[in-house]
Each structure stands twice: as C-alpha cells, then as structure tokens.
Amino acid sequence: MEKEVVLAKTTKDKIIEYITYFFIYSFLGWLIETIYAVFVHGYFVKRGFLFGPICPIYGFGAVLLLLATKKLYKKPFLKFLIATVAFTLFEYMVSFLLEMLFGLRWWDYSNDFLNIQGRVSLLYSIVWGVIGLLLLENLHPYIQTKIQKLTKGNTTYILRIVCLICTGLIIADTVFSAIKYLS
C-alpha cells in the first residue's frame, strides 16, 4: 500500500513538473516571437492567439519533444531529426486547426521555398530542428535542474498552487481569446 502512495506522489510531481515546463516554454516562445517581430517590424507586435504573454504551441511542442526524446541520451542528430519532424507536423496541425476554427492565419510561409500550403516550410522546419536540439541539449537541462531544486521540500506544494493558478488563467484566456476571434 505504501508503495502505491509513493508512486502516486511521484507521478503527481512529474505531472506538475511537465505543467511547469509547459508554462515556462510557452512564455519563452512568446518572448522569442515578440523579439523576432520587433526586429522584423521595428516595433512591438502582439504575437500569438492568446491575450497574455504566452504561446501554448511552444509549451506543447516542448513537452511533446521532451517526452518523445526521453531515452535518446547522446544522440543529438536523432534528436534534431525528431524535433524537425515533430515540430513541423505539430505546426502544420495547429495552423490548420486555427484556420478551420477561426478563419485566420497566425503565420504564412507561402513565399518560402518548399512550403506546404504556407503552413510549414523547409527553412522553418530546419530552424525548429535546431531550436529543438538547443532546447534538449542546453536549455532544458538548466531549467530542469532549477525546477528540481525548487521542488524539493515544501515548495512542491507552492508549485502545485502556482500551476493550478496558471492553468486557470490560461483556460480563461483561451475562452476570452476564442470569443474575440469568433466575434
């Protein structure tokens, strides 16, 4: 009986850890998009679907990549290939769904070489592969260490509360954003 409780706690802690990663990478994705847009346009441009400073496509993509490459130690080229293919497929699906649901396009690669319906392109697929590899090899190990240090002891409870609040906020933001785009 005691083993089950320990396993359940470990599973809960892992779920909270991945939810935390989702929010961190969603925010970092929004930040990268915003900085990129400032360089391209010369001024601030609101990026993403949501009102808040978060792009869930990056959070979901990062978590999916972390889970898909969990056992690929010291295989950077394979990680690059998985990131390239996974992010390209994910970007295509999200573009298709957003356009189907809201009739809008948040990005368009129609002018890029070897694009598919303007939703994905060879250039950005390679960029996503490089970003995925940098995430897996450099950024995530650093963030993972910081999160694991933070979640030792009583701070796990605080992290759960923060994740719950952030989840509530993103649900509300998603609802209000969807209403905005459907109007």
Domain ranges for the chain: 2-182
103-156 pLDDT tens trace: 888 889 999 999 999 999 999 999 999 999 999 999 999 999 888 787 776 667
Provide the 10 A C-beta neighbour count for residue 124. Answer: 19
Min mean pLDDT across 6-15, 39-48, 52-61, 73-82 is at: 6-15
DSSP annotation of 114: T
For residue 3, pLDDT over 70 is answered with no
Please, which residues have CB within 8 angstroms of residue 76's CB and are 6 or more apart in sequence?
133, 137
Query: pTM for this structure?
Result: 0.85
46-71 pLDDT tens trace: 888 899 999 999 999 999 999 989 88
